[in-house]
Amino acid sequence: MGIEKIPVEQFVQLSQKHTVIDVRSNAEYAHAHITGASSIPLFNDEERAIVGTIYKQQSREEAIKKGLDFFGPKMKEMLLTAEGLIKEKDPDDKTVLVHCWRGGMRSAAVAWLLDLYGFKVYTLIGGYKSFRNWVINELSKNHPFQILGGNTGSGKTIVLQSLKNSNEAVVDLEGLAGHKGSAFGNIGLPKQPSQEMFENKLAIAIRTEQEKYPNQKIWLEDESQRIGTVNIPQSMWVHMRTCEIVFLDIPFSSRLKYLVETYGTLDWVALRDAILRIKKRLGGLETKTAIAALEEKNIHGCFEVLLKYYDKQYRKGLENRKEPKPNIITVSADSVKDIENAREIIKINNGRN
């Protein structure tokens, strides 16, 4: 069917519909990759190092010869793996996208094999490196964001999910980061993605929502720049701080109840360690009070101390935005409810447009 080299914009668009195969080494893929791509390494980490050394110290031709020593015995296995992935995504699809680091010999070799077998193959001009440039460019744009704000325990994440279910454009920053925010956000969750992988997922998520809802603003949760171990890219975060905020205003008691129900069953030691991590900002007395309540299994009392601290931090973050200050629309609710509060937000928002 042929091999066609395509630019990154077209590659990203086609990646939403077709199987993407990343032929870089295991370590390269594990660090970060294009969202949704599957790993079928042409060379493992050791083999890649050997071929690279020969390329630098001897010649391109000798590197290719050595590469063929590694590639030859793997050809059938790689073909069968690729075929399985493609059929799993769509049994009737005969299209596959392949890329390596720079769009050079590794992707060309695997593309040749898949083309020989009968697939329509697209390779990425410039490889993963060009994709990363695309990601950085996308995240530096002033996209049409709308920020969902609210004090800790307002249920912003579940409201965002309900907004998404109501056909609103939504990007879940905490979901992409693998972290629920605050010092307690990683308890019980897998290891977070690398910074690079977080950015890759974020750029793809924004583009996906834009293509699905071209005339809508994209909802984002009001976040600190740092979400656990990853950061919202500086230019994007600065832009977010200028965007209109829809502030979900819920009473302290309702938010405290929600937090106790949500986090009260988490590991006691993990909760204590999380409190100690914010000791400097929380203050010595409040830290002792919170931990004492935790040790007495008084989760309500422990979280009451913490919630007062986070409310103070959130107010500070809201007030510290630079001029011109973003417009803030307040939506009041009696309790933390995903569907009902999302409906009220949509109602008020639509009434203004």
Q: Which residues are catalytic?
A: 100
Spell out the residues 6+ positions from residue 11 whose beta carbon is closer than 8 angstroms to its own. Answer: 97, 99, 122, 124, 131
Instruction: Measure the CA angle with vertex 342, ends 341 and 348; round to 5°.
Output: 90
Name the nearest CA neighbour of 25 among 55, 56, 46, 52: 46
DSSP string, 227-262: ETTEE--HHHHHHHTTS-EEEEE--HHHHHHHHHHH
Instruction: Measure the CA angle with vertex 235, ends 232 and 240; round to 5°.
Output: 70
HEC per residue, 83-149: HHHHHHHCCCCCEEEEECCCCCHHHHHHHHHHHHHCCEEEEECCHHHHHHHHHHHHHCCCCCEEEEE
Mutual orientation of helices 127-139 and 195-212 as an angle, nearest 10°? Answer: 70
Structure tokens that stand for 164 in this block: 């998404």
CB pairs under 8 A, 24+ apart, for 128-131? 128/22, 128/24, 128/28, 128/33, 128/34, 128/99, 128/100, 128/101, 128/102, 129/101, 129/102, 129/103, 130/7, 130/8, 130/103, 131/8, 131/11, 131/12, 131/34, 131/99, 131/200
